Structure 1
Amino acid sequence: MPHVFKALQMLYYEPYVSRASFCTSLYMGEGAVKTMILHLKKEGMADSTKSGTFLTQKGRRFMKNLLDNIPAECEIKKCSISIGKFNHAILLKKYAFATKSGTEQRDFAIMYGATGATTIIFRDGRFTFPNDTADCLLNDKNTKKTLCNFLKPENEDMIIITSANEPFVAEISAKNSALWTMATHTR
């Protein structure tokens, strides 16, 4: 699921994507990429020409809706709330309701190889842990600035930060956690 999401992101932002680009960016073999493209074609989400694979109008509408809920993500440096070698933050719009402690989001991230995950909520101009009111980044201006600049959080947004020993694993595990959070919690 997170690999398909990343593939759809690639297609959304590029007019055409080659199989080789998918293989490189998704860390997937040629056969797995061909199968993924066939599934996307079968669902009417993508099509291919000699120039590469592209999103159909149905695929574009689907991605616009998905990106309305997951509009931004970024890498962040090791800090007080994310201590991994590589850390990836992903924002879920208005999903603060979907966590009690962040354990569920951590478990979804670990499924894809993360060494850990931290869930924070943006409320009243502060980053807080679920069920807390203290600003968990009060003394970490650099991380706060990075999250604000790249994610542009608003009140009641959830941010999942996953940690891993490889940058791709941090990214794909964050995507997995975000997608599963959306799938298991409806607004």
Structure 2
Amino acid sequence: IIEDPMIRELKETVKNIRETSIKNLEKLLQRVGESFEDNDIEFYIAETGEEANNIIYDIVKDEKTIAKSKSNTLTEINLVKFLEKKGLEVIETDLGDRIIQLTNDKPIHPTAPALHFNMEEIADTINEKLKVKVDANPEDIMNTIKSDVLRKLEDVNVGITGANAVAAYDGSIVMVHNEGNIGL
């Protein structure tokens, strides 16, 4: 597929856009801020993970439960642990991240965080933590976690997610998903 001329051209175009964006980052951030303001979207810039966590906490601190969609950036700054230490419950909506949350373990990979667990271990954890009986097969595990997350989301007023891209010109936010958790 990489040998396809159209794919090579697209790859080069994306690379050039990324490089240009990095070179003009300060100007683009200013434009994003203006675009967000035009769309009544609050915009913050944090210099550190700790600062980002504090900004987010100040926004959500009056909530009891927060939904969190897949975001490697939020994982890198340890947002969930930070909010939990502040007394908030955070519900991971990504399947792998929810398994990690239930096991209280560390993710092994950014896009496959629970890869180091076998089906028996995952089922045992779900049975213990969620007080259910689930068989050690992927479909049952997925459906059980999905049902649990959806039930918990009924009481959630705030969700936190990352973005795959932001258009500086109009403030559009692009999110791509593979599990359907953005729609939750």
If the length of structure 2 is used for normalisation, what is the TM-score? 0.26
Structure with more of its chain in helix, by fraction: 2
Between Structure 1 and Structure 2, whose CA radius of gyration is higher? 2
TM-score if structure 1 supplies the norm length? Answer: 0.25
